[in-house]
Amino acid sequence: MGSLLSHQPLKALGYLGFALFVTPCFLLVNSSRFLFSSLRQDPAWGMKTALMCAYVRLITKFASLVRDQPYEQAKAATFKERCVKIEPSNPKHFIGSVAEGSVKPKTTTGVWFPNLPHTAKPDEKVAIHYPGGAFILAFGVEVVGALMADNLVGKLGADKMLYAQYRLARDEESRFPAAVQDAVTFYSYVLSLGFKPENIIVSGDSAGGNVALALLRYLETKKTDLPLPGAVITWSPWVAVPSDAGPKFDAQPNSHKDILSGAILQWGADSYRPGSTLDEEVEAMVNPLHHPFKTRVPIFLHAGSNEGFCPTVKEFSQEMATLNGQERTKYHETPLAPHDIFLTHPAVGMGEQKNQAIEIARSFLEKRRRGVEQPPPEDDL
């Protein structure tokens, strides 16, 4: 349950107070404080990075208090033919924990960037991107989708990108496995257009990275007729989603520097997890850490050294590398970066670092595609 501020009219008053009093006071105090590098979360950060990380962290704490989830599905009026309604995948594609319970597959909405593919060309590469938001928040597709497309189409080498907004966890009918059901539907839809599975890159940032990994686990461990994708890339994936996700995040060494807060993650975990105690199969799907799995698909995992997720992403990467080998599991850590610079780089001033991470991911995928062994750099496992 949310706080008193999650109910009207206190919610409206909370927004008013945050806009008129909290934000101006925060900016006044911290703009002065962060003039001194020794008072920033990390002395090596510039003032912009320090200020933006602290402010976004404050926003996540406020959002967890008011429990507001403003989100509208992308509309054809905005994106025209690029906005596609996708019917649920073939029922035989949903088995095991993804089919059990009261949560049922539903129609999804995706947006194509830069344009709608009518039929796939023989060697055309496509990225399916599952966005972050702690399973509870969604962001404007027009802005965020274009940003993701610039990364995946403009720099990583895909020809098309499908922005795949899965269902948010808002009630009992949209908890796990709703997001994974939608991930299966998006994936089978792209295959139905004629894209070769080896030319499909499954991508996800933050909670979307969790969904991308859950999809791959599902495809590897369940006997459906869906083929495996060519690669999976995840940016600051949320791999530790236990029932006490908030306190565990706050206990991480760099969580106080990050844009995330334990409060927003606890809300997300409470909303997404179907219960506090789960059977082994569901726990592995929801909470990847300490539940590695065998895969034939190359996986790239990224984290920033100054984000609270860094230790858990690195540990999960090590677990996956132990099972699958370093030639198939690539971990890259960006020094000083907070959470999800794939998305947040314009705000925190880390565009160059984001481009370097994408170039490393692109090089890794190309070498895997050619079957070339790559020497482990310093940040490899």
- Host H or E run for residue 82: none
- pLDDT tens-digit map of 242-287: 999 999 999 999 999 999 999 999 999 999 999 878 899 999 999 9
Q: Cα(308)–Cα(310) distance, rounded to whole angstroms?
A: 6
Mean pLDDT calculated for residue range 97-125:
91
Query: How many CA atoms, within 13 angstroms, populate the side-chain half-sphere of residue 109?
Result: 14
Burial of 342 (0-12, 13-18, 19+ CB in 10 A): buried
Query: How many CA atoms, within 13 angstroms, populate the side-chain half-sphere of residue 258?
Result: 27
The whole-number pLDDT of residue 257 equals: 96
Q: Where are the strands (E) in the chain, listed by range?
A: 83-86, 108-113, 126-130, 160-164, 200-205, 231-235, 299-304, 329-334
pLDDT band at 66 (very low <50, low <70, confident <90, very high): confident
Query: How many CA atoms, within 13 angstroms, populate the side-chain half-sphere of residue 58?
Result: 15
The whole-number pLDDT of residue 10 equals: 76
The whole-number pLDDT of residue 134 equals: 96
Q: Cα(280)–Cα(178) distance, rounded to whole angstroms?
A: 18
Mean pLDDT calculated for residue range 99-109:
92
Q: What is the mean pLDDT of the chain?
A: 92
pLDDT band at 222 (very low <50, low <70, confident <90, very high): confident
Hey, is 234 helix, strand or coil?
strand
Mean pLDDT calculated for residue range 191-203:
96
Q: Say if residue 373's pLDDT is above 70.
A: no
Mean pLDDT calculated for residue range 165-185:
95
pLDDT band at 71 (very low <50, low <70, confident <90, very high): low
- pLDDT tens-digit map of 320-367: 999 999 899 999 999 999 999 999 999 999 999 999 999 999 999 998
The distance of Cα 100 from the centroid of its chain, to the nearest Å, equals 24
The whole-number pLDDT of residue 370 equals: 60
- pLDDT tens-digit map of 229-239: 999 999 999 99
The whole-number pLDDT of residue 276 equals: 76
pLDDT band at 372 (very low <50, low <70, confident <90, very high): very low
Longest dimension (CA), the chain: 61
Q: What percent of the chain has pLDDT over 90?
A: 79
The whole-number pLDDT of residue 375 equals: 40
Q: Say if residue 380's pLDDT is above 60.
A: no
- pLDDT tens-digit map of 144-168: 999 999 999 989 999 999 999 999 9
- pLDDT tens-digit map of 113-138: 999 998 888 889 999 999 999 999 99
Burial of 349 (0-12, 13-18, 19+ CB in 10 A): middle
The whole-number pLDDT of residue 378 equals: 45
For residue 160, list its beta bridge partners: 126
